Amino acid sequence: MSSSPRIHAVETLLVDVPTIRPHRLSVATMNHQTLVLVRLQCSDGIEGWGEATTIGGLAYGEESPESIKANIDTYIAPLLEGQDASAVAQQLARVASQVQGNRFAKCAIETALYDAQARRLGVPLSELFGGRVRSSLPIAWTLASGDTARDIAEAEKMLDLRRHNIFKLKIGLRAVRDDVAHVAAIKAALGARASVRVDANQAWSVTEALDGMRGLADAGVDMVEQPIVAHDKLGLKRLTDANIIPIMADEALHGPRDAFEVAAAQAADIFAVKINQSGGLRGAARVAAIAEAANIALYGGTMLEGAVGTMASAQLFSTFGELAWSTELFGPLLLTEEILQEPLQYRDFALQLPTTPGLGITLDTDKLKRLRRA
């Protein structure tokens, strides 16, 4: 009987890639994205990849690219090296028992372990989570230049290319009325050809949100994402109970416990499911299960990951029974450099899922050597 494959090495790479344009959020303006990639090498020659990318350094959350790398290299990798690579749950339990918090770092490790195991078994990663119910995922595009005319032109281009017909607008930097006017102008230009949603990234107070929601509903906007601070779940419930426009919880969800609290309070109509925010693929699957049990609709979210995190999310989201509000897995399209040997396939307003083992992607290691930090 052959011995179990062992984890030979865990390597963390910081890869800086410029964006195609400034990406303005209420918490930060991004001109580049730092991808945090984890490469897990096993004794049987199989490799697994994971990603722990965040937004705006420490502007968005408590983990930065640099802290993620330091904590994986210093604390997590030594726990895994030499261990059984095929005993994924056992290794994740080992990490959980020794490392508090660090949801993004744990997500990258979990993804790399599952990618390697799925490759070992010769199946797509989605098969390890019950199997996919769809082979493609509708993809929203975020309009975040802050300029109304430029955003309209960008949306028109995406419609012409048949790449996106769902648009999320990042707002919250301006006065509420100015933001509403900006969104209303874009919705008026696009009309029934596209769904328009907004994300205030926690920028509003409850009273500002109530005012803004009325204007957005009148303009034909379909949904508002996390308009107030993440910790104010009672405020989020107040906005949901107002029944002006559907409310989506995003930053309020840091895993299954938060999901349970929001669901129990009926404080949101929609959950944005994110694998990094949830602490990994298993945590995200549990968030989705709680939502479905509470009749809360699902949306597949992003931390603007590159191809690795995007495809990990897509593999999981493909297993969800319903995905009423689509997904926003457009991260690789925001970057100026391709890190895969074969790019992800975006067409007909959707991301096409590969059927090859693991994540179904192959990294361009020569490109990564050029782009990674020394």
Strand arrangement of the beta sheet that strand 29-42 belongs to: 7-24, 29-42, 47-51
Work out the widest C-alpha separation in the chain, in whole angstroms: 69
Per residue in 250-292, pLDDT (tens digit) is 999 999 999 999 999 999 999 999 999 999 999 999 999 999 9
User: How many beta carbons lie within 10 A of that of residue 175, not counting itself?
Assistant: 10
Per residue in 65-116, pLDDT (tens digit) is 999 999 999 999 999 999 999 999 999 999 999 999 999 999 999 999 999 9
* Selected catalytic residue, list 170, 187, 233, 274: 170
Residues in the chain: 374
Q: What is the spatial distance between Cα 114 and Cα 70, in angstroms, rounded to a whole number?
A: 22
Tokens of 27: 């918490």
Q: Active-site residue 106, yes or no?
A: no
Give the C-alpha distances (Å, rounded to integers) separating 321 from 132, 211, 222: 9, 34, 22
User: How many beta carbons lie within 10 A of that of residue 214, not counting itself?
Assistant: 14
Provide the sign of the torsion angle of the four alpha carbons 240, 259, 349, 336, taken in this order: positive
Per residue in 336-365, pLDDT (tens digit) is 999 999 999 999 999 999 999 999 999 999
Alpha helices in 73-170 (DSSP H): 77-80, 88-98, 103-121, 148-160
In this predicted structure, the answer to whether residue 14 has a pLDDT above a threshold of 80 is yes
Domains of the chain in sequence order: 7-122+364-371 (3.30.390.10), 128-352 (3.20.20.120)
Helix axes 281-293, 307-317, angle to 10 degrees: 40
Closest CA to 54 of 98, 108, 115, 114: 108
Is the pTM here over 0.85, yes or no? yes
> Are 259 and 291 contacting, i.e. CB atoms less than 8 angstroms apart?
yes
